[in-house]
Amino acid sequence: MDKIEKLQRNRNRLLGIAAISFLLWQGATLGIDIAGAAQWTHPISTLVMQISLIIGAVAWAGAMLMLVGYQRAVRQAGACTVLRDELFLRHRTVAILYGFTGMVAVAALLLAVSTFVEFSAEIAIRAVLISGVFIPLVMLVRLERKALPDVS
Amino acid sequence: MDDISKLMRDQNRVMTAMGLIFAIWQGSTLAREITLSAAPQFGDTAILYADRVETVGGVLWVLATIALLLVMRRVKRARAQDVMRDELFRHNQSLAMKVGFKAMIALIVVLVGFEAFFELTSGIAIRAMMLVAVLAPLTTFVILSRDDSAVEA
């Protein structure tokens, strides 16, 4: 495996960690908000959501720090243009399109739900934000993984 | 002007009209919700005007959708799908969606900021998002297509 491929795999791993940690962090916050609005108190579920929130937030911060370190490694290897090639840019565009579609779908779903159930703006904003960050990250990782050759 | 250019011009016109109608239609609903939330004393007036604009907007939206279907039929009859949905069209389309995505993220940031100082209802937040999700890509697409037509002319 050459240096560039290693960097690509590291990038995918980092983006994957960032996506999952964001989902854990913001998903748990959304869960807590919804439970609060519905006045639903279940100690074990609340504890699970709080633990997920803490783990997610710490992992997200860790992923961001690792991303800074990764960028330094890319710069040192002089691989910026190689890693940002045509295929990567295409994948990024496709991932963004999926993210946008996901955001619109969630907003439309919330609009329909809001006619039957009353909920706060915070819940709506968070739900759309989660789809806007999680979907493009996951799609980018998936597309990039498909483009990489098998290690085996 | 050839048939393809005419069809493209008509498509852009219908899309511009759809954008404007959607902005007026959903904008009036958003304005009513903001008025009800921020200045309830004007609630009755807001409901009265918003209901009228909503009805007119809804009817116009249906008419604009029918107009778009008619343009699509003309495109199909002229067998111009492949010519009109060329590489440039697809490029403009994905660029417009990208702008829509960025606009949505920017709106979320603004809403989070607003939410910290003012009381927002879910209706206001969702409707603002729907407005931006439709208007940002539509406007970008129409502008890009017009620029291309101007260059071709």
* Min distance A101 CA to chain B CA atoms (Å): 9
Answer yes or no: are the C-beta atoms of B51 and B29 closer than 8 Å: no
Whether residues B98 and A114 touch (CB distance < 8 A) is answered with no
Whether residue A43 lies inside any domain: the answer is yes
Question: What distance in Å separates the CA atoms of residue B111 and residue B124, rounded to the nearest whole number?
Answer: 10
Supply the pLDDT for residue B152.
Answer: 62
ipTM: 0.85
Whether residue A46 lies inside any domain: the answer is yes
Whether residue A77 lies inside any domain: the answer is yes
Supply the pLDDT for residue A127.
Answer: 95
Supply the pLDDT for residue B150.
Answer: 66
* The pLDDT of residue A152 is above 60: no
Whether residue A152 lies inside any domain: the answer is no
pLDDT in tens, A55-100: 999 999 999 999 999 988 888 888 777 777 888 899 999 999 999 9
* Min distance A20 CA to chain B CA atoms (Å): 19
| Number of separate domains in chain A | 1
| pLDDT band per the 50, 70, 90 thresholds, residue A151 | low
Answer yes or no: are the C-beta atoms of A18 and A64 closer than 8 Å: yes
pTM value is 0.84
Task: Name the maximum alpha-carbon separation found in chain B.
Answer: 56
Give the structural domain span for A140.
3-145
pLDDT in tens, B89-126: 888 999 999 999 999 999 999 999 988 888 888 989 99
- Residue ranges covered by each domain of chain B: 3-152
Whether residue A150 lies inside any domain: the answer is no
DSSP A149: P
- CB of A119 less than 8 A from some CB of B: yes
